[in-house]
Amino acid sequence: MKKSTLKVDQIIDFKKWDKLQDSMVLITKAAMIIIDYKGNPMTKHSGCQKFCSIVRADKKMAMYCQKCDSRGGLEAVRTNKPYIYLCHFGIVDIAVPIIVDDKYIGAIMVGQVKLSDHHMHNTLEQIVALPNKKWIEGTINHLKEHYEALPVLSYEEVVNLSEMIFNLSNYLVEEALDKSLALELNEAIGLKEHHISQDILLGYQTKSIENIKKEMSNRIISSYIEREQEKISVSKVLKPAIDYIYTHKNEHVSVKEMAELCHVSPSYFSRLFVKETGEKFSLYVSKLKIEWAKSILEETDIPISEMSEELGFNEPGYFIKIFKKYEGVTPHLYRKYYKK
């Protein structure tokens, strides 16, 4: 199973974000930049303080700065909230995680400020410490004028700032996903399903929204299965059975029924089926339906209960049990970690 990894630039429009980022920097006085999950910069560094600009221009120092950004982002996603910490120079930074479907794809880094209430300074963690303290002290002394010019905020202001950016990040992610949902769905399931959705929606006046969603779900599932059917190659004897399985996905088919359809005895059908597919009929059908389910879970938001019904499982609970048997996780968890 291949896990699809989302990227920050698939969620946030950087051209539009840059303008917003610059405006927020003017209001808050704090520097701001977006990084990916590895800590690599993804946007310009708005409001970067002179002290930090000089430090980041040094390749050796920049390595520690990037390490701070990366560690801060990871701590933020671990706690699932903004993480306020100290960099290796004792400067206050904030890592605001960008999370999509519980997946960490990057962070908004805010900060380069000092605290006015010094007693709170000692409550923050310094996540990256340099082995040579004299190096730190020497750099601060050398750049004393720029270090002292760093913006000063109260701890409460820093907390409020972190919460504001976190809420903004969540809002932007939700909006981006909502607006692109239809486009992504059409791209994922192809032009055929686009026409399907258009045909259904044209009749919206005589149908309830729930019925429309259900019909779209059913047709999308059918389309996935039809595409998979094109990949199967079997003998002419078994072809009627294979075709029936693919076109009657919501039925529980038996060896006896399929043997009659192929005009052979159940025992001969079973032997031939194992010979051509390498698996017993019941096992083949179960695995096939689980593969269909995986594709649907990865590509759509169709409810698990509807999917279960459309794939011929009597109850969602039984479907979940079978899915977990083959995949080791429930359908819900599979979608959570593998949805594209």
Looking at residue 329, what is its pLDDT?
Answer: 85
Pair (21, 169) in one structural domain: yes
Pair (159, 21) in one structural domain: yes
Pair (19, 151) in one structural domain: yes
The CATH number of the domain where 13 resides is what? 3.30.450
Pair (164, 54) in one structural domain: yes
Pair (36, 148) in one structural domain: yes
> Does a structural domain hold residue 1?
no
Contact between residue 47 and residue 21 where contact means Cβ atoms under 8 Å apart: no
Give residue 47's pLDDT band: very low, low, confident or very high (50, 70, 90): very high
> Does a structural domain hold residue 202?
no
Give residue 106's pLDDT band: very low, low, confident or very high (50, 70, 90): confident
- What tens digit of pLDDT does each residue of 222-262 get? 444 444 444 455 678 888 898 888 888 888 899 999 999 99
> Does a structural domain hold residue 187?
no
Looking at residue 196, what is its pLDDT?
Answer: 43
> Does a structural domain hold residue 213?
no
> Does a structural domain hold residue 203?
no
Looking at 145, 178, 211, the residue that finishes a domain is 178
Pair (151, 262) in one structural domain: no
Query: What's the 3-state SS for the chain?
Result: CCCCCCCHHHCCCHHHHHHHHHHHHHHHCCEEEEEECCCCECCCCECCCHHHHHHHHCHHHHHHHHHHHHHHHHHHHHHCCCEEEECCCCCEEEEEEEEECCEEEEEEEEEEEEECCHHHHHHCCECCCCCCHHHHHHHHHHCHHHHHCCCEECHHHHHHHHHHHHHHHHHHHHHHHHHHHHHHHHHHHHHHHHHHHHHHHHCHHHCCHHHHHHHHHHHHHHHHHHHHHCCCCCCCCCHHHHHHHHHCCCCCCCHHHHHHHCCCCHHHHHHHHHHHHCCCHHHHHHHHHHHHHHHHHHHCCCCHHHHHHHCCCCCHHHHHHHHHHHHCCCHHHHHHHHCC
Looking at residue 94, what is its pLDDT?
Answer: 95
Looking at residue 336, what is its pLDDT?
Answer: 81
Looking at 146, 178, 210, the residue that finishes a domain is 178
Contact between residue 237 and residue 247 where contact means Cβ atoms under 8 Å apart: no
> Does a structural domain hold residue 88?
yes
Pair (57, 110) in one structural domain: yes
Contact between residue 83 and residue 76 where contact means Cβ atoms under 8 Å apart: yes
Looking at 117, 146, 178, the residue that finishes a domain is 178
> Does a structural domain hold residue 172?
yes
Pair (171, 279) in one structural domain: no
Pair (79, 139) in one structural domain: yes
The token pair at 4 is 């699809």
Count of domains in the chain?
2
Nearest to 153 by CA among 245, 80, 91, 219: 91
Looking at residue 234, what is its pLDDT?
Answer: 61
CA dist 285 and 322 (Å) reads 12
The CATH number of the domain where 299 resides is what? 1.10.10.60
Pair (164, 274) in one structural domain: no
Pair (13, 154) in one structural domain: yes
* Greatest mean pLDDT range, 1-15, 89-103, 166-180, 181-195: 89-103
Q: How crowded is the C-beta side of 96, counted as CA atoms within 13 Å?
A: 21
Question: Can you give the residue range of the structural domain that contains 246?
Answer: 223-338
> Does a structural domain hold residue 191?
no
Pair (172, 233) in one structural domain: no
CA dist 83 and 73 (Å) reads 8
